[in-house]
Structure 1
């Protein structure tokens, strides 16, 4: 696949989202470890205080060695190494867990050295509701004599509940990633369909041009024959064929030009162009095409050269002037002025037409967008002329805008001063 700006943006966006998800998973892991460590410390401190109270009751000296052994995340063995009562142990466990705010279900069992077996104590529920006991979950430790085991059956659920907001953020990010990937797939499919559409348009218009050229050649030849020229009715019909064929040819050229621009097939051949000569040529060709008097006013356009593609620059200005004549009033007036600013030269093309309705103005440069005219129920054209104009401006890195004035529509083209020379 050809590397272009779209592929780069898609790749960077994908990397960014994956990076954020990885960071979120890392934070989730860190939060989980912190939560587990914090709960483990609270349990450890509470059990130490339980052992200390038992030794105080027995008026014995507390051993220096650590008497609490963590077997798993939710299972602990506490070596008391001294006699203790079941009811006293449960009371101390409840009291110390409340002190450290450990709202956990727990169950415990005490080793009975007389029967050499673990005697199940009780299941203490944090919410007071009865829960299913697991009397077989406690195992013996052969090297110990006076000890008890304690188990927290819902400790892992607590980790998940405490990290609920992290899980939600992670889920949202994963959903965003899925939506992004799905959108990219749709975008690439649409891009592929657009490329196929442009290829179809190119092939179709090329196929149209061959018979159309034959029609124009035959019509022009027929129109020059004495038999036709002497018959006003036939001559008029032949001229209609020629005019409509030329109009169709212009439409085909517009479609081809826009298709090439959309597929980035246009290679600009830039050179220094005399603005005044280009405008004079446009004035001449507009008058020949429309067979009516069109008033042109040029202001401050003398001795200005523009670094641009001569062919497309001419087409750009010709399209704007042609639109001004086609959609203007019966006596078209077109003014083209050049204004210098700090960083730009502004070309301002204005007409004396009715302008563009306010609701349509932001969209006139969109491809295939056409404006409904109040004086004509039928929408004219293909909506590609101004789209082509904007595309050529973008390829030259110029900026184009449109606005209504008191007298009609004005198109402004900003050209950087580095592309301007005063001859």
Structure 2
């Protein structure tokens, strides 16, 4: 995917997510306003019913003007124009608020004609465990004689509680937006890492190719000299140098190509191959390279598999070479072949340093090298076992790694029978 297209998708996704979040917040705000209006209407109707009941049993009529007024968001005043008892007022308030489903704390006060001030009544809590707040002075209003005031100290929290679903959606969208931003940040970081990795691979390709070409030219020239051709032993060593240089050159091409992309697919030339001869050939070459290496091959009858001979050889070579590299003692490798139901199982066990249990899951990751003293001493790029895993995956084989009970590493390859 081109960079411009990816950037456009990222920007559009971010704008869309922010837009949805803004719309959700606006809807939540509108829902809160509607709840507040609905609550105000219920309080107004309930207080109007209280005023009507306070006039019951008297010869006076209710004032023509609306006796209930909203002074602020949580403060209401009801004009009675008739003397009333505080106990009767509280009884009517509880009754009407219950009937109107107004289930929140409130406090009330009444105007005292003799002292010309508002007298605090009582704090009524819907929860008996809620502590009573300190008394609050209610403001006095002009031109009113017999009236009472109501305050709802928890109105805002009461309304927000009724909007739990809307608030949950808003919080969920905020979390989604944060996750989206974090994901975009991670993608950008991974993109930078991939570009750096690609540049590194391109540079290494050139660095490997140059000395290998020089080795091949020198080896070919050396093989034509009379002193070499006349000495069978020297001629044999020269041919080994040429063959291994060509093989190494081919390895570099294959491994670097597969390392350029996790999604790259290699062209496999599958055919029926015998397992034992290939293992013996790799073991012989590895012993030439590492004279102290001891390899034990345990097998019964001859086994054949459907595989790419070149890549299967590389798999065995990489696993054994890895065992030799990460061994502090004389390297010992045991290769065993077993039949398990419809599968052929190849086990490669060594006496190396093994891998810590926390990091063994990353053993086949590209460029992964465990941070230890041995890794620091060995030159490498962490591509060997990644290549092994890649080839096994393309053959539809399964590969596992585990530490031996006593010492070393065990790598198992499960190959379906033909």
Residues 1:88 and 2:75 aligned together: no
Q: For residues 309 and 248 of structure 1, what CA distance do their matches in structure 2 show?
A: 18
Select the residue among 349, 352, 355 that pairs with 1:354. 352
SS, match of residue 88 in structure 1: coil
Higher mean C-alpha displacement, 210-219 vs 270-279: 270-279
Does the CA-based 8 Å contact 2:53-2:92 persist in structure 1?
Answer: no
Deviation at 1:208, TM superposition (A): 2.4
Match of 1:129 in 2: 136
Residues 1:195 and 2:190 aligned together: no
Give the 3 Å change call, closer, same or farther, for CA 249–304 of structure 1 in structure 2.
closer
Match of 1:48 in 2: 49
Q: For residues 55 and 292 of structure 2, what CA distance do their matches in structure 1 show?
A: 114
CA displacement, residues 59-110 of structure 1 (integer Å, 9 cap, x when unaligned): 88x9xxxx999999879898x9xxx52553987655433453653467999x
- Gaps in structure 2 of 5+ consecutive residues: 3-9, 98-102, 112-116, 124-132
Does the CA-based 8 Å contact 2:77-2:148 persist in structure 1?
Answer: yes
Match of 1:183 in 2: 182
Does the CA-based 8 Å contact 1:337-1:349 persist in structure 2?
Answer: no
Does the CA-based 8 Å contact 2:399-2:414 persist in structure 1?
Answer: yes
Match of 1:103 in 2: 105
Match of 1:214 in 2: 213
Match of 1:339 in 2: 339
Q: For residues 393 and 108 of structure 2, what CA distance do their matches in structure 1 show?
A: 71
Q: For residues 254 and 270 of structure 2, what CA distance do their matches in structure 1 show?
A: 23
Q: For residues 280 and 19 of structure 2, what CA distance do their matches in structure 1 show?
A: 58
Match of 1:315 in 2: 314
Give the 3 Å change call, closer, same or farther, for CA 346–333 of structure 1 in structure 2.
closer
CA displacement, residues 319-363 of structure 1 (integer Å, 9 cap, x when unaligned): 11222344455464431313314x754332223x23415457624
Deviation at 1:204, TM superposition (A): 1.2
Aligned residues: 374
CA displacement, residues 9-31 of structure 1 (integer Å, 9 cap, x when unaligned): x9xx9999999999999899879
Q: How much is the aligned-residue C-alpha RMSD, in angstroms?
A: 5.7
Does the CA-based 8 Å contact 1:198-1:259 persist in structure 2?
Answer: no
Give the 3 Å change call, closer, same or farther, for CA 53–208 of structure 1 in structure 2.
same
Q: For residues 249 and 56 of structure 1, what CA distance do their matches in structure 2 show?
A: 110
CA displacement, residues 124-180 of structure 1 (integer Å, 9 cap, x when unaligned): 7965323667879x9xxxxxxxx9998868786354554597787566535522431
Does the CA-based 8 Å contact 1:205-1:252 persist in structure 2?
Answer: no
Q: For residues 23 and 273 of structure 2, what CA distance do their matches in structure 1 show?
A: 58
Deviation at 1:391, TM superposition (A): 3.6
Give the 3 Å change call, closer, same or farther, for CA 358–204 of structure 1 in structure 2.
closer
- Gaps in structure 1 of 5+ consecutive residues: 3-9, 110-120, 139-146
Q: For residues 16 and 413 of structure 1, what CA distance do their matches in structure 2 show?
A: 46
Residues 1:386 and 2:385 aligned together: yes
Does the CA-based 8 Å contact 2:105-2:154 persist in structure 1?
Answer: no
Match of 2:412 in 1: 412
Deviation at 1:183, TM superposition (A): 1.5
- State TM-score, norm by structure 1: 0.62
Deviation at 1:207, TM superposition (A): 2.0
Does the CA-based 8 Å contact 2:347-2:410 persist in structure 1?
Answer: yes
Match of 1:369 in 2: 369
Q: For residues 23 and 267 of structure 2, what CA distance do their matches in structure 1 show?
A: 44
SS, match of residue 57 in structure 1: coil
